[in-house]
Structure 1
Amino acid sequence: MIRGLLVLFIIYVVLVISALADCLGGERRPRHLPRFAWALTILLVPVVGAVLWFATGRPRAATGPGPQAAPPSTRTQKAPDDDPEFLAELARRLKKKEEDGGK
């Protein structure tokens, strides 16, 4: 019985700490309430406050074009051995080096 209560208490503490860290650590404004009100709700309303934070209070991720969305990358990063431009430049340098006498 004591072990079961201890496990439930540990789960509750982890839930509250993760909800508080998520609430207080974000840069974007939370939905529905100010940040301090969410923190008080998480602390003062057992379990329900943390569940409400994760269900309704977290800011939505930026998905569409808008002020919070990052511009899409025009070129993807490639490893040097997968980059055709790098390989062509390398071949050009080697050819020039061979023509100059291997210097």
Structure 2
Amino acid sequence: MLRALIYILPLALTIYAFIDCLNTPEDEAKHLPKVAWVFIILLFWIVGPIVWLVAGKLRNVPEGGRTPSEWHRRQRTTWVAPDDNPDFLKSLKDENKKDESLLKDWEADLRRREEEIKRRESGAGPEDPAPPAGT
């Protein structure tokens, strides 16, 4: 089993590097044209894939180093919980006011429709005044 791993691991690495090289845009291949990288990966199938993965492709690294220094960390805005964020609380109040006005409009529309139904059932037309509520 260990003998098979000696052949399978470099083959898998070569296949991975070959596919990665083919999927990489031409402008992201460093130092050599993409076609040259394909030949290097396939001809030198132990060293070629490792060289491709280390030096052949542009990697996305944040500017200014890998991690920001303490100086830059202090200047960042800190995360605020929603119940402490005044903008979030204001948006909740505004949304609540909007919902209340919408509910009042719906209730007024419902009352108007109920009155129309009562008028129709009592036989009065829409132009006729509504009958007194006590009779």
* TM-score for the superposition, normalised by structure 2: 0.50
Give the counterpart letter for 1:35 in structure 2. Answer: K
Percent sequence identity over aligned pairs: 32
**Larger RCO of the pair (alpha carbons < 8 Å, separation 6+):** 1
Counterpart CA distance in 2 for 1:21 and 1:84 is: 50
- The alpha-carbon deviation at position 26 of structure 1 amounts to 1.7
Match of 1:91 in 2: 93
Counterpart CA distance in 1 for 2:13 and 2:90 is: 54
Match of 1:14 in 2: 12
Report SS of the residue matched to 1:19. Answer: helix
Match of 2:33 in 1: 34
Give unpaired runs (5+ residues) of structure 1.
Answer: 66-77
Report SS of the residue matched to 2:28. Answer: coil
* TM-score for the superposition, normalised by structure 1: 0.63
Structure of higher CA gyration radius: 2
Match of 1:25 in 2: 23
| Larger helix fraction of residues | 2
CA RMSD of aligned residues (A): 3.0
